[in-house]
Amino acid sequence: MTTLRTPDDVKVAIIGGSGKLGRSLARKLLEAGHSIVIGSRSRETAAAAAHSLAEALHLGDSSTPQIASDANEGACQSADIVILAIPEASYADLLPPLREACRDKIVLSTAVPFPLSASPTSAGEKAQELLPEAHVVAGLHTVSHAVLESASPLDEDAILTADDPRDAESLESLLQSIPGLRVVYGGPLQYARITESLTHLLIRMNRTYHAATGIRITGIPSSTS
């Protein structure tokens, strides 16, 4: 039986919550007490993913935190924060219909363009271009779903980039509610070109060392991290 912590007011939509990263993030955030709405291109897929998570965490209908499901647009509409856990290649198709529903909301782009030199820009910048009224933050690229599922607490940093540092800051308490995950601000969204590409380095190292690697930045005074 999983122990769930005190619920929080923030409702988080996870677009692609049926996938590997989306599901493992949803699980960690539910365990930390946040309410989640799983988004999918298909309402049925979203409902099945939410049902399976509710079962795994023994969540009843009246439990808090709560898990809900909807098609992507409805999920964004009903949430305060939107996490994009979908492939970068799908951004051009999937994001324009979400533009209105994401207006004025914090949107976290987790996508890493594949292969390494696939794009001259970053997925984070692409998300901002497609969702101009949203506050896009890019991050979590180096946090693997396998580690989210297997490690507790984690031993990793999540480097967030955003044009307005306050947007990254507003994700701090949500993400740091995952035990062992520290948020570090990495600069404007343009720097997502670097943070996204770090994932390719880690995937290579995982093969070399048969490991599940992550990133820790040293030297940041604890009072400012």
Ligand X SMILES: NC(=O)c1ccc[n+]([C@@H]2O[C@H](COP(=O)([O-])OP(=O)(O)OC[C@H]3O[C@@H](n4cnc5c(N)ncnc54)[C@H](OP(=O)(O)O)[C@@H]3O)[C@@H](O)[C@H]2O)c1
Asked whether position 86 contacts ligand X by CB under 6 A, the answer is yes
Task: Give residues 96-135 in contact with ligand X (rule: CB under 6 A).
Answer: 110-112
Asked whether position 94 contacts ligand X by CB under 6 A, the answer is yes
Query: Residue 142 CB, nearest distance to ligand X (Å)?
Result: 7
Please, which residue, 32 or 123, has the CB nearer to ligand X?
Answer: 123
Please, which residue, 22 or 65, has the CB nearer to ligand X?
Answer: 22
How many residues at the interface with ligand X, by CB under 6 A?
23
CA 22/CA 81 separation, integer angstroms = 14
- Which has the closest alpha carbon to 50: 71, 80, 73? 71
Query: Residue 91 CB, nearest distance to ligand X (Å)?
Result: 9
Asked whether position 43 contacts ligand X by CB under 6 A, the answer is no
Q: Which stretch binds ligand X (CB under 6 A): 140-148, 169-177, 185-193, 202-210?
A: 140-148
Please, which residue, 18 or 177, has the CB nearer to ligand X?
Answer: 18
Residue 132, CA atoms < 13 Å, CB-side half-sphere:
1
Asked whether position 52 contacts ligand X by CB under 6 A, the answer is no
Helix-helix angle 20-31:43-56, to 10 degrees: 40
CA 46/CA 165 separation, integer angstroms = 32
- Residue number with the shortest CB distance to ligand X? 19
Q: How many C-beta atoms lie closer than 10 Å to residue 107's C-beta?
A: 26
CA angle 192, 197, 199 (to 5 degrees): 110
CA 64/CA 45 separation, integer angstroms = 22
- Which helix or strand (DSSP H or E) is residue 123 part of? helix 123-130
Instruction: Pick one of 13, 22, 50, 131: the residue that binds ligand X (CB under 6 A).
Output: 22
Query: Residue 62 CB, nearest distance to ligand X (Å)?
Result: 27
Contact (CB, 8 A) for 19 and 83: no
Q: Which stretch binds ligand X (CB under 6 A): 15-23, 58-66, 157-165, 201-209?
A: 15-23
Contacts with ligand X, residue ranges (CB under 6 A): 16, 18-22, 40-41, 45, 85-88, 90, 94, 110-112, 140-141, 143-145
